[in-house]
């Protein structure tokens, strides 16, 4: 037996003090209560007979004291929290509670699958054997234990209460890995999965063998609610502005109907699809979806000044099994007017491309052209972007700049060599400047090779020799960006390619600090990289993220990008000191979760190792290892006996 509470020395001290106090109270108790009687003579006649029993009565009083001391010793021992040694039969249980989006599916009684799973887990916790140890793990996209391994039923129930169902998928494999780590080196490890079994086959096949994994299916009530009508979902929702008319935009919505068992059974479902912009309805359509069908709807030429868009899908009669994926969120890309100074001796290719970009009812680019001889840095400082075509000023302008074929010492990046007929071998495809741009088989007669600084980006290189580069510099407390094209476009076939206007548009967008549409659209259950509005102005530190429910969380910022593991759908706002707030949207868009599949049996592994997971066993309520409840129970029993004997006048 070991003590988990107070040590022996303190216990003995407590007992000594308590025993002294008790004995003193008993001695005080010997002082008799005085009582008046009307006729003492009668009492004396009686008392003469009882003298013989006085000794026995004194002993009875000491018996009472002994009982009190015994109670005291048991109480003091309980403070020491004595525990029996662990038995070899004790299990180490990791309770994986599926907190994925599909667990939000609700039945007719208003209880969700998650509620049912937690209830089952509570039942298991209440029936753990005395020598079982357990821990609760929330199984979402970022599985985490809700506490430490414990034998304490109340603590485990608190861990269960702390689990929150999320709007994202569950990472089963990571959860199992975590469970293995938690139970490593402990006796009889066992993992119990409380879930609807809504995992894809590939995940289930990848479940490692040799893990004692048990599956607790949801009760029959949940099965009934799954069998009702299946689930409708918005599986994609995107909005983009037109390049030529940035006031207009188009919206793409993809809908899906999942049958009752995830299949294509069942009747067609009449639905309503509503598009809202800043809470106002923009469009409402009546549609019909067949189970298993995916339906895409494109809304071209939409207009409006709002930023937040919502798509809502409704059954025309009845509710949906999983309301979470019936609403999707999207943000309109921000638009800004740009002023461009073109410094060129004349370049028809370039001017033609700029003309195409700035054409339209609402030109976002105002272009002003000057000859290199008339270039004035002060004038350039009044523009957002300066485009140098085959001209390199001695000092970089106080604005963002696009250099075409920079030369000489004025080049922002030193030119280390010149290569003839270079081949583009490496392209930074993920960079916004090269979005949708293909440089394959580009013919260039001659190109300059730049020497990059530590934070400069090589957009295109020939055998690691950059000929297209992007850089950011601090200048006068502001960030100045520049894109350098190391060749004369007129001596290449780039102007003849679709890539040229795209490259030009992307470069202008990037220089203006505009983020791409995709950069601010996220799906739940992933770690989001959220670019700040002015990345170079806040390279590292912390920012505040306003959640859809209005709460705020601090998020770390590294190199102008904030990191956050998002698990809720809706609109977010990233706020950072000295920066424009950045809006972003998050959606589920996960067909596995939207299927809301409900399995009553879960088979994992593949091939010969495929096995059906057994259900967990309830513990046999054995003697718990913590002895204090029994000691207190014994105390109560003794107190009752003492009280009873006192009332019967045996121990007085």
Return residues touching other proteins (CB under 8 A).
30, 32-47, 49-50, 53-54, 57, 649, 652
Between 53 and 281, name the residue whose CB sits nearer to other proteins: 53
CB of 40 to other proteins, least distance (A): 4
DSSP alpha helix (H) spans, 93-245:
113-126, 153-162, 172-183, 201-205, 220-226
Q: Which residues contact 461 (CB under 8 A, 6 or more apart)?
A: 424, 425, 426, 467, 468
CB of 21 to other proteins, least distance (A): 20
Q: Which residues contact 62 (CB under 8 A, 6 or more apart)?
A: none
CB of 39 to other proteins, least distance (A): 4
Give dist(CA 541, CA 562) in Å, integer.
9
Between 34 and 154, name the residue whose CB sits nearer to other proteins: 34
> How do 385-389 and 338-343 pair as beta strands?
parallel
CB of 50 to other proteins, least distance (A): 5
CB of 61 to other proteins, least distance (A): 8
CB of 24 to other proteins, least distance (A): 17
254, 295 Cβ separation under 8 angstroms:
yes
Give CB contacts under 8 A, 24+ apart, made by 3-11: 3/80, 3/81, 3/82, 3/83, 4/80, 4/81, 4/82, 4/83, 4/626, 5/79, 5/80, 5/81, 5/82, 5/628, 6/79, 6/80, 6/81, 7/80, 8/80, 11/76, 11/77, 11/79, 11/80
Q: What is the DSSP letter of 125?
A: H
Between 359 and 652, name the residue whose CB sits nearer to other proteins: 652
Q: What is the DSSP letter of 150?
A: B
CB of 46 to other proteins, least distance (A): 5
Which of 407, 365, 414 has its CA nearest to residue 388? 407
Q: Hey, is 111 helix, strand or coil? A: coil
Angle between the 499-511 and 348-358 helix axes, to the nearest 10 degrees?
Answer: 70
Between 29 and 621, name the residue whose CB sits nearer to other proteins: 29
CB of 71 to other proteins, least distance (A): 20
Between 43 and 436, name the residue whose CB sits nearer to other proteins: 43
CB of 56 to other proteins, least distance (A): 10
CB of 20 to other proteins, least distance (A): 22
Residue 402's region, left for phi above 0, alpha for psi from -120 to 50, else beta, is: beta
Between 30 and 317, name the residue whose CB sits nearer to other proteins: 30
Between 58 and 382, name the residue whose CB sits nearer to other proteins: 58
> How do 400-404 and 385-389 pair as beta strands?
parallel
Give dist(CA 298, CA 249) in Å, integer.
11
Give dist(CA 128, CA 614) in Å, integer.
17
Give dist(CA 282, CA 300) in Å, integer.
12
Between 33 and 440, name the residue whose CB sits nearer to other proteins: 33
Give dist(CA 229, CA 39) in Å, integer.
92
Sign of CA dihedral 278, 283, 289, 295: negative
CB of 648 to other proteins, least distance (A): 8
Which of 643, 637, 639, 521 has its CA nearest to residue 583? 521
Between 33 and 154, name the residue whose CB sits nearer to other proteins: 33
- DSSP assignments along 485-529, one per residue: E-S-GGGBSGGGSTHHHHHHHHHHHHHTTPPPTGGGEEETTEEEE
Between 58 and 621, name the residue whose CB sits nearer to other proteins: 58
CB of 43 to other proteins, least distance (A): 6
Between 34 and 440, name the residue whose CB sits nearer to other proteins: 34
Between 61 and 446, name the residue whose CB sits nearer to other proteins: 61
């Amino acid at each position: 037996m070991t003590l988990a509470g107070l040590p022996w020395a303190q216990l003995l001290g407590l007992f000594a003090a308590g025993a002294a106090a008790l004995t003193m109270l008993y001695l005080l108790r010997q002082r008799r209560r005085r009582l008046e009687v009307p006729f003492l003579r009668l009492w004396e006649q009686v008392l003469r007979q009882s003298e013989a029993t006085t000794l026995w009565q004194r002993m009875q009083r000491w018996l009472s004291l002994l009982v009190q001391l015994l109670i005291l010793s048991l109480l003091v021992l309980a403070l020491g929290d004595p525990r029996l040694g662990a038995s070899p039969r004790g299990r180490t249980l990791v309770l994986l509670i599926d907190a994925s989006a599909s667990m939000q599916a609700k039945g007719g009684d208003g209880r969700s699958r998650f509620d049912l799973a937690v209830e089952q887990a509570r039942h298991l916790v209440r029936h753990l054997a005395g020598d079982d140890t357990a821990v609760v793990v929330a199984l979402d996209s970022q599985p985490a234990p809700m506490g430490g391994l414990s034998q304490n039923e109340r603590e485990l129930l608190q861990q269960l209460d702390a689990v929150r169902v999320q709007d994202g998928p569950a990472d089963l494999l990571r959860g199992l890995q975590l469970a293995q780590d938690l139970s490593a080196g402990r006796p009889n490890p066992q993992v119990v999965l409380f879930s609807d079994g809504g995992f894809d086959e590939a995940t289930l096949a990848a479940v490692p063998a040799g893990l004692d994994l048990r599956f607790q299916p949801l009760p029959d009530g949940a099965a009934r609610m799954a069998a009702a009508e299946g689930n409708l979902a918005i599986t994609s929702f995107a909005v983009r502005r037109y390049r030529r008319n940035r006031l207009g935009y188009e919206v793409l919505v993809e809908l899906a109907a999942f049958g009752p068992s995830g299949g294509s059974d069942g009747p067609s479902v009449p639905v309503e699809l509503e598009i809202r912009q800043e809470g106002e309805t923009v469009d409402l359509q009546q549609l019909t979806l067949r189970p298993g069908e995916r339906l895409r709807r494109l809304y071209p030429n939409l207009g409006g000044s709002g930023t937040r868009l919502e798509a809502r899908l409704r059954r025309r009669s009845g509710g949906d099994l999983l309301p979470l994926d019936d609403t999707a969120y999207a943000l309109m890309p921000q638009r800004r007017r740009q002023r461009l100074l073109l410094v060129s001796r004349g370049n028809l290719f370039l001017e033609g491309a700029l003309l195409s970009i700035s054409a339209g009812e609402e030109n976002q680019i105002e272009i002003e052209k000057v000859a290199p001889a008339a270039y004035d840095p002060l004038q350039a400082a009044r523009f957002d972007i300066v485009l140098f075509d085959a001209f390199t000023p001695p000092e970089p302008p106080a604005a963002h700049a696009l250099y075409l074929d920079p030369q000489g010492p004025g080049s922002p990046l030193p030119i280390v060599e010149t290569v003839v007929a270079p081949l583009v071998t490496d392209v930074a495809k993920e960079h916004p400047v090269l979005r949708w741009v293909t440089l394959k088989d580009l013919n260039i007669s001659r190109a300059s090779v730049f020497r990059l600084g530590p934070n400069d980006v090589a957009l295109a290189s020939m055998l690691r020799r950059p000929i297209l580069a992007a850089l950011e510099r601090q200048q006068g407390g502001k960030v100045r960006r520049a894109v350098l094209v190391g060749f004369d476009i007129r001596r290449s076939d780039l102007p003849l390619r679709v890539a040229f206007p795209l490259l030009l548009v992307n470069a202008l967008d990037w220089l203006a600090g505009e983020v791409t549409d995709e950069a601010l659209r996220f799906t739940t259950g992933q770690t989001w990289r959220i670019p700040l509005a002015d990345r170079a102005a806040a390279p590292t530190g912390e920012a505040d993220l306003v959640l859809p429910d209005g709460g705020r969380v601090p998020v770390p910022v590294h190199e102008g990008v904030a990191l956050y593991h998002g698990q809720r759908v809706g609109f977010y706002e990233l706020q950072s000191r000295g920066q424009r707030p950045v809006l972003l949207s998050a959606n589920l868009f996960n067909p596995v979760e939207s299927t809301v599949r409900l399995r009553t049996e879960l088979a994992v592994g593949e091939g010969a190792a495929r096995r059906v997971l057994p259900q967990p066993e309830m513990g046999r309520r054995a003697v718990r290892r913590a002895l204090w409840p029994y000691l207190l129970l014994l105390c109560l029993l003794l107190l009752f006996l003492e009280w009873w004997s006192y009332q019967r006048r045996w121990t007085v």
